[in-house]
Amino acid sequence: MNARILFATTILASGLLATSAYAADEAAATNVGEVVVTAQKRAQNLQDVPISMEVVSASALEAFHAEGFRQVNVPNMNVQNIGGNDVIYIRGFGSPSQNYSFDQAVSLYVDGIYAGRGRQFMAPFFDLQRVEVLRGPQGALFGKNTAAGAISVVSALPTDTFQASGTGIYHFNQDGPELFGYVSGPLSEQLSARVALKLRDQDGFMKNAGQGGREELTNKQVLARLTMRYVANEAFDYVGKVEYSQSRQRGNVTSAGLLTTEQTPKKTRFTTDGPLGEAGFDTIAWNVAGTGTLDLGPVSLVSVSGFSSFKAKHTNDFDQSIPGGGVTPNTVSNNYPEYFQQWSQEVRLQSPTGQKFEYIIGAYYDNGQYVVDQYNYYGIAGLGQFIMYSHFKQQSESWSVFGQGTFHASDSLRVLGSLRYSHTKKRGAFDVASLLGPFPFRPITSARADISEGDVDPSITVQYDVTPSVMVYATYGQGSKSGGFVSNTYATTNATFVFAPEKSENFEAGVKSTLLDGRLVLNGAIYETKFDDLQVSTYNSNIQSYIVGNAAKASGKGVELSATWFLTDRFDVNATGAYQDVKYDDYPGAQCLASQPITACNPAVPASVLANNLKGSPLPNISKWSGQVRGRYVADIGEDLQLTTTVAVAGRSKYFNSDDQSPLYGRQKGYAKVDARIEVSPPEKAWHVALVGTNLTNELTTSGSFRLPAPITTVARALYWVEPPRNIAIEAGVKF
């Protein structure tokens, strides 16, 4: 069966299925219950929301010690980490990490606050209620740079009764402890508070022979959050939050491999410190948020205010091991100090629900500053040592107005229309200097530019209840991401400084069903997404530089399915799966792929590159198939204890994770990873002890790959960013 036939067959099957949440452990023991989400700015049952989305509960994340988005196994979502920056891809589209000033095509919102930079929230999975993953453009209601999708992280709220919890974890393979706890409860009749703290002190999984056998990446973190809630009466509710995070990591996770073979990542490396210092990552971040709701009778007024800032510095080194034996001198490293600050304000007016016509109207504003410096050290045989420096500064301001209306044509039929207008202004400046020696391969340049642009993002959805337990929907929506500047590519001039905004549109149909008295949820969606002026960043090894700009067109189509089945009150299974086919529809002037013969594209000949068109080629970092199966079984141990066993298997098919899409060093094979958790506790969960294993089959995979070329190295070789291998941990916790 070829892919087209399989795709068509799955489309027909999706008439009976729809995308569901694996928040089963938050529901009643005998059925899926009601999973409440805020994907449409209101509290709704997940099964009533006409969006392809997944909801991951806090307990599901905590079960396998997820600390970031790489541990969230949502089909058609992939997270790449190169050089310390996480990039989220949904349905095949995301914004590469190599250009630091990129706004992300998949936007992150934490308690309603837009986070366009990954370092704003160093540990987003900390004392949560849930994580909502919305697939496809969300330009109308979320707005800010949601061309490919949006992720909403919702923190835990203060409770109206006293609660406290403490959990300790020891990771054996990464050799270190992790502690988490919170205290929550009322301070008065109207005021309640919640204080949460997380500490981590771990070694890594890579052995660095050049640093005395040190285990890398070491990780020391402190995270603290104070949340307070004031409820004056039924008409007014205000939640304020202050969060502090500090992260200090040492080392790196690159390993070297051959250019002539398939990927062979290792857990050993060799590096010596260069002139830019020891490899590592240091980040301090502050986040403040306040959300108030005032009931004015015929409408509710909602205000969401936010402040976010961070200072970061990270130094990258690269494995100096020579595949086959020996080491090479330290010839290249880089260092990136960053500073970011953002203020934001959103105001919404919302009608009550249950009316013939319901609406939300609102306005949004933010103001931000971002600075990144770049230091690059090169030690080139026969030429000497060089340090290049660049400075980039950006000031940005955006505002938007938006609205959504829901017309209840009948008890079963609803029509939703949304519209958002966004305006963005940016001012950027870029300067280059040579700090040590005149680097022979880079001119000294500078650039200045201003951007002022507006976008309109509409969407329309038709939603119909076939039965009280089966809902179908069809939607059309658009999303956009603002243009920007090249922030850290040497030789940038005014002519190459600015890249254009990108635009997406999405056609989607789906169905959500709750069957067998709530014991079975079968959900699914089909879609087609198209991008114009897709923003890209690719590495040209011939000139040892990243090329940033816009690809003309790209598109993806696919299917997303899932099922949650409570077979008994002690045994439940969740299965999710997705297929996607994502390609460039037109990409003239693209960099050469490793698979292209020199006669088709010669990177040394500019005219050859200008004539190169990657139409029909897949995008990098995209697996056609992805999915997860997760099962949980609860057994009694005598009269007072329970044994809860949870097993999850997640996998994806092969994908390219190098810019040149090499079929050898640049392709990660398909894999499946197995996690398991065995927990003993009393039925009321007052305490627990658990043994947790992640990646039990010890699959050694890579997040990214890269060809380190001559002359900036004495031996050209492949570099891999290695993902964590197997880890075993013991966990114990208590609740009051």
**Residues 218-237, mean pLDDT to the nearest whole number:** 94
- CA dist 141 and 406 (Å) reads 13
Over residues 540-573, the pLDDT tens digits come to: 666 667 778 898 899 999 999 999 999 999 999 9
| Amino acid sitting at position 686 | A
Least confident of 30-34, 61-65, 491-495, 567-571: 30-34
- Asked if the model's pLDDT at residue 19 lies above 60, the reply is no
| pLDDT on residue 16 | 36
Are 333 and 279 in contact by the 8 Å Cβ rule? The answer is: yes
Q: Measured on CA atoms in the order 134, 140, 142, 145, is the torsion positive or negative?
A: positive
C-alpha closest to that of 667 among 698, 707, 615, 705: 705
| pLDDT on residue 241 | 96
| pLDDT on residue 13 | 37
Enumerate the H helices of 40-198 as residue ranges: 58-63
Kind and range of the H or E run holding 10: helix 3-13
Query: Count of alpha carbons within 13 Å of 432, Cβ hemisphere only?
Result: 21
| Amino acid sitting at position 342 | Q
**Residues 272-294, mean pLDDT to the nearest whole number:** 94
Cα of 705 vs its chain's centroid, Å: 19
Over residues 41-83, the pLDDT tens digits come to: 888 999 999 999 999 999 999 999 988 888 888 999 988 877 6
**E strands, 217-331, in order:** 218-233, 236-250, 254-257, 268-269, 280-295, 300-316
Over residues 500-536, the pLDDT tens digits come to: 999 999 999 999 999 999 999 999 999 999 999 999 8
| pLDDT on residue 122 | 64
**Residues 442-446, mean pLDDT to the nearest whole number:** 91
Burial 203-227 (b: 16+ CB within 10 A, else e): bbbbebebbeebbbbbbebbbebeb
- CA dist 119 and 112 (Å) reads 17
| pLDDT on residue 11 | 33
Tokens encoding 320: 């100096």
**Residues 570-591, mean pLDDT to the nearest whole number:** 94
| pLDDT on residue 149 | 93
Which is it for strands 53-57 and 44-45: parallel, antiparallel or unpaired? Answer: unpaired
Which residues have C-beta within 8 Å of that of residue 24, sequence separation ≥ 6?
32, 564, 566, 572, 574, 632
- Of the chain, the end-to-end C-alpha distance in Å amounts to 56
C-alpha closest to that of 227 among 153, 305, 273, 288: 288
Q: Which residue has the tokens 């709220």?
A: 157
Cα of 362 vs its chain's centroid, Å: 26
Q: CB count, 10 Å around CB of 516?
A: 12
Are 23 and 60 in contact by the 8 Å Cβ rule? The answer is: yes
pTM: 0.91
| pLDDT on residue 70 | 81
**Residues 16-20, mean pLDDT to the nearest whole number:** 36
**Residues 250-268, mean pLDDT to the nearest whole number:** 95
Average pLDDT along the chain:
90
| pLDDT on residue 534 | 94
Strand order in the sheet with 53-57: 53-57, 128-135, 149-155, 106-110, 113-115
**Residues 703-708, mean pLDDT to the nearest whole number:** 91
Are 255 and 267 in contact by the 8 Å Cβ rule? The answer is: yes
3-state secondary structure of 104: coil
Are 524 and 544 in contact by the 8 Å Cβ rule? The answer is: no
Tokens encoding 568: 């008994």
| pLDDT on residue 696 | 97
What is the signed CA dihedral for 618, 620, 621, 624, rounded to 10 degrees?
A: 10
| pLDDT on residue 199 | 96
Q: Which residue has the tokens 């492949």?
A: 718
Which is it for strands 571-586 and 545-568: parallel, antiparallel or unpaired? Answer: antiparallel
Which residues have C-beta within 8 Å of that of residue 133, sequence separation ≥ 6?
53, 54, 55, 56, 72, 74, 77, 90, 149, 151
- CA dist 191 and 194 (Å) reads 11
3-state secondary structure of 714: coil
- CA dist 357 and 43 (Å) reads 17
- CA dist 302 and 257 (Å) reads 54
Percent share of the chain, pLDDT over 70: 94
| pLDDT on residue 179 | 96
| pLDDT on residue 286 | 94
Are 235 and 224 in contact by the 8 Å Cβ rule? The answer is: no
| pLDDT on residue 6 | 35
Which residues have C-beta within 8 Å of that of residue 181, sequence separation ≥ 6?
164, 165, 166, 167, 196, 197
Are 203 and 178 in contact by the 8 Å Cβ rule? The answer is: no
Q: Which residue has the tokens 């050469």?
A: 592
In the chain, the largest separation of any two C-alpha atoms, in whole Å, equals 79
Confidence of residue 139 (pLDDT cuts 50, 70, 90): confident
Q: CB count, 10 Å around CB of 639?
A: 6
- Asked if the model's pLDDT at residue 31 lies above 60, the reply is no
Confidence of residue 644 (pLDDT cuts 50, 70, 90): very high
- CA dist 285 and 242 (Å) reads 11
Torsions phi, psi of 491, nearest 5? 75, 10
Q: Which of the pair, 659 or 585, is modelled with greater confidence?
A: 585
Are 708 and 719 in contact by the 8 Å Cβ rule? The answer is: yes
3-state secondary structure of 439: coil
| pLDDT on residue 12 | 32
Which is it for strands 655-656 and 667-668: parallel, antiparallel or unpaired? Answer: antiparallel
Q: Which residue has the tokens 């086919």?
A: 581
3-state secondary structure of 61: helix
Tokens encoding 251: 């080392």
- CA dist 445 and 358 (Å) reads 55
- CA dist 513 and 453 (Å) reads 42
DSSP string, 254-279: EEEE-SSSS----SEE----BTTBS-
C-alpha closest to that of 32 among 476, 549, 404, 566: 566
Give the domains, in start order, of the chain with CATH numbers: 3-735 (2.40.170.20)
